[in-house]
Amino acid sequence: MHLSKRIMVTGGCGFLGSHLCERLLEQGHDVLCVDNCFTGTKRNIRHLLNHPDFEFIRHDVTFPLYLEVDEIYNMACPASPIHYQFDPVQTTKTSVHGAINMLGLAKRVRARILQASTSEVYGDPEVHPQPESYWGRVNPIGIRSCYDEGKRCAETLFFDYYRQHRLKIKVARIFNTYGPRMHPNDGRVVSNFIVQALKNEPITVFGQGQQTRSFCYVDDLIEGLIGLMNSSDEMIGPVNLGNPAEFTIMELARKVIELTGSASEVIYKPLPQDDPRQRKPDIALARKELQWQPVVGLDEGLKKTIAYFERLLEEENR
């Protein structure tokens, strides 16, 4: 039996954060969920609120927090373009001030801290698939920059705290992840397509749908994050976590229509600014160092996600 730890999850009411809280509770830890509920929702953690080892604090990480914890998963930040572009200044603050505040807390209580970074640090990549050694190609002044550059700056801060203060850090670069509890209106491709298909509305594809994405089911990703947090102190990252199976957006659209039995038709819209053409993680490092790789295939994961959205839409229509 491993020791029970006091673990803080910022952004714990979000899609990934709520799954992480749930998994850590299953492992017997004391979990503190911190979220200002800007994009996260209490609905995602409602089933955990009566758990004796779970606590929820409504707090914005751009302000300091004084608590005693053993580990911190810094997951707080709006992650979909619709949400992070709604208040871009706040998005940058959440990534940068949030990182400074959480690193300061980790330094004070000597906690191990993990940063949920993103494949967006690679921008629109010239290297395919993207290994951790690739520095990226990011527009610093575009409409996505608040998120891309905010996360890049957070990585900088983590590594400087590591070098300057010998802090125990972990940096995970998360690629497209999907599953139950995704926000239905977050504009992300999986949730968009499923909601449109279930409502028999036209499925909106940007460009010709030939851009590629790699989709990782949430359970796989959470195992990767926990595996990284529990790895040796030398294993600081950054580590790509994602599913290397690559699909075009059109392939995804067809799959969703097929699995939902939808009557939806596909319509095409212009590509958004700075939309990456390809995304595929090189996960050789995670395989070697964490013995981690995804096990849930796209069809299986989509079926579980579709079932979640069916329930959600039924509740809305009651």
Q: Would you please indicate which residues are annotated as catalytic (active-site) residues? A: 147
How far apart are alpha carbons 285 and 300 in whole angstroms?
Answer: 25
The strand pair at 246-248 and 112-118 is best described as: unpaired
Full 3-state SS string of the chain:
CCCCCEEEEECCCCHHHHHHHHHHHHCCCEEEEEECCCCCCHHHHHHHCCCCCEEEEECCCCCCCCCCCCEEEECCCCCCHHHHHHCHHHHHHHHHHHHHHHHHHHHHHCCEEEEEEEHHHHECCCCCCECCCCCCECCCCCCCHHHHHHHHHHHHHHHHHHHHHCCCEEEEEECCEECCCCCCCCCCHHHHHHHHHHCCCCEEEECCCCCEEECEEHHHHHHHHHHHHCCCCCCCCCEEECCCCEEEHHHHHHHHHHHHCCCCCEEEECCCCCCCCCCCECCHHHHHHHCCCCCCCHHHHHHHHHHHHHHHHHHHHC
Q: For residues 280 and 122, what is the distance between their CA atoms, to the nearest angstrom?
A: 11
Q: Which two tokens stand for residue 166?
A: 């010998």
How far is 39 from 35, CA to CA, in rounded Å? 9
Furthest C-alpha separation in the chain: 58
